Amino acid sequence: MSSDLTTGIHDLSFATGEYVLPHTALAAYNGTDIGKYHTGIGQRSMSVPAADEDIVTMAAAAAAPIVARHGAERIRTVVFATESSVDQAKSAGVYVHSLLQLPSACRVVELKQACYAATAALQLAIGLVRRDPSQQVLVIASDVSKYDLDSPGEATQGAAAVAMLIGADPALVRIEEPSGLFTADVMDFWRPNYRETALVDGQQSIAAYLQAVEGTWKDYAEQGGRPPQEFAAFCYHQPFTKMAYKAHRHLLNYCGQATDEDAVERAVKHTTAYNSVIGNSYTASVYLALAALLDQAGDQTGGQDGGLDGRSVGFLSYGSGSVAEFFAGTVVPGYRRHLRTAAHRAAIDRRTPLTYAEYRELHQRSFPADGGDHPTPAQTTGPFRLAALRGHKRLYDTR
């Protein structure tokens, strides 16, 4: 293996749900001042999956354009990261493998650790590629964020999938060493097997996140990482977009750097565009932040001066419970030629707005557990749909 081999993100694509609930509709229902959502947490709307959509259909929709562009011959591993798993034994990635007709000579696994797991998948993929640079790894992060109706977490819900092709000599982002790591046993957010919705201690979760920011950066610095001033931008996990601002302010303060609003805005502002209208997508969130950063910096009408060619980007991946990692990436010169900006914006714009009553009906929908024949209403206009649950088996269709 060549000592100068670079590995990282060669392609990135995302998909989201069929429907969208504007936060104005939620505010009108519960009497909340819209400023609490738009300004307080930085959210404007949330994606809502159709009755025939789930983490598998979103994942396949996100990954299909990557397979179409690059082919599947070199994909020998699929790593599916989620905390919305549809089965306790079978990886959701196996369904995606079938829907995309990937080669049978392929390993498929599912990883779980709250919102962090996609970064574990990325690091696993990099290790596999370094062992054999001729292969590529398909990493998929797909989640549906779901809290109890009328709970404080309801306004942060969302749904999306991000697919990334990891390989040698990447076209988008070269992932650097080292990583800063942190784990602490806290109960800030969790979902027992017997619950369909997550439980969260909001204040403790924010405190645990900020503790992880300190812990990962401390380890990153001790491992010889870059100083904060070398980064052009920072992609944070965004349970709500204002958390990215809070986290970066905390990091700058911890590092003894100036925490003025301009410094925070420059580092974070281009990373929040997609999360602010999709909502929390758990494992996909930090990579939606990357997609937004690359797409906006590549937009000649509103991007950063000079773009991101050759610039360093920091990543803070946090998963409640808690596990976190800070690492760096260098944006590959010429990355704009490989972006999917128009497709990403189309995925957001295609969503059909819901009334609060329609959203509530979808939220309360669940499959009976009797093993009977339970077809789903044909609602999605996407390329894949969950057709039925029959004999305890999930059946998917390709359009």
| C-alpha span between 175 and 126 (Å, rounded) | 8
> Which of 10, 23, 237, 270 does the annotation list as catalytic?
237
* Max CA distance (Å), the chain: 61
Number of domains into which the chain is organized: 1
Whether 137 and 77 have beta carbons less than 8 Å apart is answered as yes
> Which of 83, 110, 154, 325 does the annotation list as catalytic?
83
> Which of 23, 53, 115, 363 does the annotation list as catalytic?
115
| C-alpha span between 173 and 206 (Å, rounded) | 29
- Is the pLDDT at 77 greater than 70, yes or no? yes
Q: What pLDDT, on a 0 to 100 scale, did the predictor assign at position 305?
A: 45
Residue 226 lies in a domain: yes
Give catalytic status of residue 110 as yes or no: no
Give catalytic status of residue 338 as yes or no: no
Give catalytic status of residue 115 as yes or no: yes
pTM: 0.97
Residues of the chain with pLDDT > 70: what percent? Answer: 97
Can you give the residue range of the structural domain that contains 369?
7-398
Residue 2 lies in a domain: no
**Which candidate, 392, 349, 365, places its Cα nearest to that of 49?**
365
303: domain CATH number is 3.40.47.10
CA 287-289-295 angle, 5° bins: 100
Q: What pLDDT, on a 0 to 100 scale, did the predictor assign at position 4?
A: 72
Q: How many Cβ atoms sit within 10 Å of the Cβ of residue 275?
A: 29
The predicted model gives 183-194 an average pLDDT of: 96
pLDDT tens readout for residues 244-281: 999 999 999 999 998 889 999 999 999 999 999 999 99
The predicted model gives 235-245 an average pLDDT of: 98
Residue 1 lies in a domain: no
Residue 266 lies in a domain: yes
Give the ranges where 273-386 is alpha helix by DSSP (H). 275-278, 285-297, 341-349, 356-363
Residue 312 lies in a domain: yes
Q: How many Cβ atoms sit within 10 Å of the Cβ of residue 184?
A: 13
Q: What is the mean pLDDT of the chain?
A: 95
